[in-house]
Structure 1
Amino acid sequence: MTNRLQTSGWIALSIALAMLGAAVFASATGGLHVEAGGVQMTLQTSAETGLQLVFAAAS
């Protein structure tokens, strides 16, 4: 049980660090835009509005 919790903790830490890295990258470049299979994701960060993640589906 302890080994499983430790593994889950490392996975959660990795995901959190990846999200933080994406936010820093989006802040430095003015935004991050990803499109795959008709779904668009836009990540924008600023000091005034904070972190904004927008999903849109193209039809």
Structure 2
Amino acid sequence: MSRFSEIKDLVTALESDFEKFYDKGNQAAGTRVRKGMQDLKNIAQDIRKEVQEIKNKE
């Protein structure tokens, strides 16, 4: 479950950058959002691999 917490923390941390980009048009915040979303994608892929490995062991 620590991986799930990692995802929640990342999304929470990105919340202010989402607001700055979408509501205020801050371009630097958009860059941070894109980086954060890439990190989220990588974490999700790692979780998918981990789940598949556990599933295949059973």
TM-score using structure 1 length: 0.49
Using structure 2 for the length normalisation, give the TM-score: 0.50
Which structure features the higher share of helix residues? Answer: 2
* Structure with greater contact order relative to length (CA < 8 Å, sep ≥ 6): 2
The answer to which structure has the higher strand fraction is 1
